[in-house]
Amino acid sequence: MHKKDLVLFVDDWLESWTGNKPKQLLSFYTDDVFYLDPANQDGIKGKANLEIYFTKLLNKNANWKWKVIEIFPTAKGFTLKWEAIIPVLDKAFLIYGVDLVEMSGNKICRDEIYFDRYNWHTEVDLNKQNKTKV
């Protein structure tokens, strides 16, 4: 993929992470995709399994926003440095991370996501605890 096409692809892909549109997001992945993130350290194999995960994840995080910091093309795809703003009730967390992406044609066949989710995850857990006390 040429750099200009890659930039357009990544912009469209990141946009599909916002707004609770799992089907749209899944359209960027191959049927045999391998996906890994901090919540799934063993990874998720296959689009059908990824759909289950994305449906839950995007439903809980419909208003998060993703932004490209830098894209590094690689022989098999690209590495993406990104930032995300993730709202949790009255707070918003700014998180930085990277995706290591491999492509098959114009679709993602491997997506490994790395970021520190400690502050965000801690806030989510505190909110859950506060709801159970009410």
19-64 per-position pLDDT tens digit: 999 999 999 999 999 999 999 999 999 999 999 999 999 998 999 9
Q: How far apart are CA 111 and CA 43, in angstroms?
A: 9
Asked if residues 2 and 103 have their Cβ atoms less than 8 Å apart, the reply is: no
Q: Is 124 exposed, middle or buried (0-12, 13-18, 19+ CB in 10 A)?
A: middle
- At residue 51, what are phi and psi to the nearest 5 degrees? -60, -40
**R_g (Cα) of the chain, nearest Å:** 15
Q: CA-CA distances (angstroms) from residue 16 to 71, 87, 124?
A: 17, 17, 23
**Single pTM value for the model:** 0.87
Predicted pLDDT of residue 117: 77
74-90 per-position pLDDT tens digit: 999 999 999 999 888 77
Asked if residues 32 and 44 have their Cβ atoms less than 8 Å apart, the reply is: no
The mean pLDDT of 111-118, rounded to a whole number, is: 90
Asked if residues 7 and 71 have their Cβ atoms less than 8 Å apart, the reply is: yes
Q: In what helix (H) or strand (E) does residue 41 lie, and over which residues does it extend?
A: strand 40-45
Asked if residues 47 and 31 have their Cβ atoms less than 8 Å apart, the reply is: yes
